[in-house]
Chains A and B, each alone.
Chain A
Amino acid sequence: MNSLERISATVQRQATDRVPVIAQVFGHAARIGGATLDEYVQDGETLARCQLKALHDYGYDAVFSVMDVNVETEAVGSVLRYPKNQYSVIERYALAEESSLESFQIPDPRRAGRMPEMLRALRLLRKELGDEVAIVGCVLGPFTLATQLLGLEAALYLAIDDPARLERIMDFAAEVVIRYGQSQIEAGAHLVVIFDPSGSPAVIPANFFREFELPRLQRVSQALLASGAAANWLHIAGPTASILPYYPKAGIDIGNFDYLVSAEEAKTCLPDTCLDGNIKSLLFVEGSAGDVEEEAKELLEAFRDRRGFILSSGCEIPPEAKPENVAALVHAARGRG
């Protein structure tokens, strides 16, 4: 069974040779590949090279073409800064002040901002890995993109002061995301993770998520599936127990859960959906390899009798993580058989 087959079978809740392991290695790969983070997030070839080096070193089941959370907003018109060895930072939001939404177009992923570089990374990864390892692209959830176009605080106030405008912006965001996601699948991604940190109950109430974000997530996941995505993966960190039950309605096949949701809670909330999680991100920085292995073993035990589990961290493994800790995560899954 190769990595892609293992993940596909796990999503279908079928038997596998072992539990798949996906380390959420994004910028950490830059460190493994000897690049700075600012180079990594701007150059598709560097990103692909570093991902391949990290895959070679760690031996997990998926690689990611993920730059940072500002690719879409930059493509629409936000102005970014690229500090040395850090993820990019938004200097000016595209929709700050009262800019009219009508003056913005859905960006063309072949031309806009860093989107072409992201697609280049996917093409290189697919050329190198074929269908052996899962190649994962990334789009933002529509609400998260709205917060990246407006600024988080402004977006939240807009939800109260002018919800109709926020909904128009979210509809626009959903279109941006769909077009970008479809181009990622065309470029070689097997699946696309929908990264939606602003959709977390740490930021918005569950009923807000249900009323505003869920219908748009449905649209995004349907479009990605129609374009050939092997599965839809929703990634929201934080205390998500109150929104996990909505995931199947959004067409989600893989639901990420963070350390603030226990394995038992996640299983109860999503009895029929593949889950991935949930080791605390900071443990990969502050803990030891033994700590990570212990947590991983507990998780594997908690999901022993349940097909449909991918061993992973609860959120991104920080760029500065200790390599031996990432290796310990992979070892826990591979060693178990």
Chain B
Amino acid sequence: MNDIPMNGLIAAILDGDCAESAIRVEQLRKAGASAERIVTHGIEPAMSALDGKCTLEEFNLLEIMLAGRAVTEVMKLLYPEGSAAAPSKATVIIATLEGDVHDLGKNILKMVLTGSRYRVVDCGKDCPLEKLADCAEREQPLAIGISGLITNVIPQVKQVKDLLRVRKLEWVKVMAGGAALKQSTAGKLNVDFVAESAFDTLHYLEGLAGDGR
């Protein structure tokens, strides 16, 4: 069962073709491919190919959104609600903080991380800090990703690590991104990492893999 070709699914995802991706998944399932194998050998390589295409100079948000939508549909087919959860590398919490309702950046990050086998817990937009900390306490994530389009959320971003320390979650990494936050530095924002793009966040997370969590 290990030699079932995944090229058709990979191409359909990269083309952002939801319907074709679903057909390909059905064919793969019928041929005996497991859900986990479709994720590791179909979805993940598709996300890697997209990562390779998306340089800062050749960035195409629409392409990522379309591929992300196809991945989301495929994941729903493979792991319908109520079934066993998809196996994941780690849990990541994402949020846009209170006062910022722009959530496209956060949603892109969700697609990229989900397609790369992370379990993503989405705290939504306009998220109060206490809600984020409660979620972190409950989920014990590897990292928290905060997306910010407007500068007025910066004072809150600066508080996240201190809040985690109070909750004895100082090992949780805090990552920031988005148009406003990426103008700053990790030191000034009091976070562990400032990402240029969703894939930049993914690379940082992959680098944490050896940290034992």
A208 at the interface (CB under 8 A from B): yes
Name the one of B99, B107, B183, B188 contacting A281, with C-beta atoms under 8 angstroms: B183
Are A160 and B183 in contact, CB atoms less than 8 angstroms apart?
no
Instruction: Kindly list chain A residues whose C-beta atoms are within 8 Å of the C-beta of B179.
Output: 202, 237-238
- Nearest to B103 among chain A residues (CB) is A153
B184 at the interface (CB under 8 A from A): yes
Complex Cα–Cα for A332 and B144 (A): 41
A324 at the interface (CB under 8 A from B): no
Instruction: Kindly list chain A residues whose C-beta atoms are within 8 Å of the C-beta of B101.
Output: 89-90
B60 at the interface (CB under 8 A from A): yes
Instruction: Kindly list chain B residues whose C-beta atoms are within 8 Å of the C-beta of A157.
Output: 65, 69
Name the one of A86, A202, A238, A259 contacting B99, with C-beta atoms under 8 angstroms: A86
Are B188 and A159 in contact, CB atoms less than 8 angstroms apart?
no
Are B107 and A205 in contact, CB atoms less than 8 angstroms apart?
no
Are A282 and B69 in contact, CB atoms less than 8 angstroms apart?
no
Complex Cα–Cα for A286 and B65 (A): 32
Are A86 and B180 in contact, CB atoms less than 8 angstroms apart?
no
Q: Identify which of residues 157-176 in chain A touch chain B, using a CB-to-CB cut-off of 8 Å.
A: 157, 159-160
B34 at the interface (CB under 8 A from A): no
- Nearest to A153 among chain B residues (CB) is B104
Instruction: Kindly list chain A residues whose C-beta atoms are within 8 Å of the C-beta of B56.
Output: 239
Are A282 and B180 in contact, CB atoms less than 8 angstroms apart?
yes
Are B65 and A153 in contact, CB atoms less than 8 angstroms apart?
yes
B171 at the interface (CB under 8 A from A): no
- Nearest to B99 among chain A residues (CB) is A86
B204 at the interface (CB under 8 A from A): no
A32 at the interface (CB under 8 A from B): no
Are A153 and B183 in contact, CB atoms less than 8 angstroms apart?
no
Chain A residues with CB under 8 Å of chain B are 83, 86-87, 89-90, 152-153, 156-157, 159-160, 201-205, 208, 237-239, 259, 280-282, 285-286, 318-320
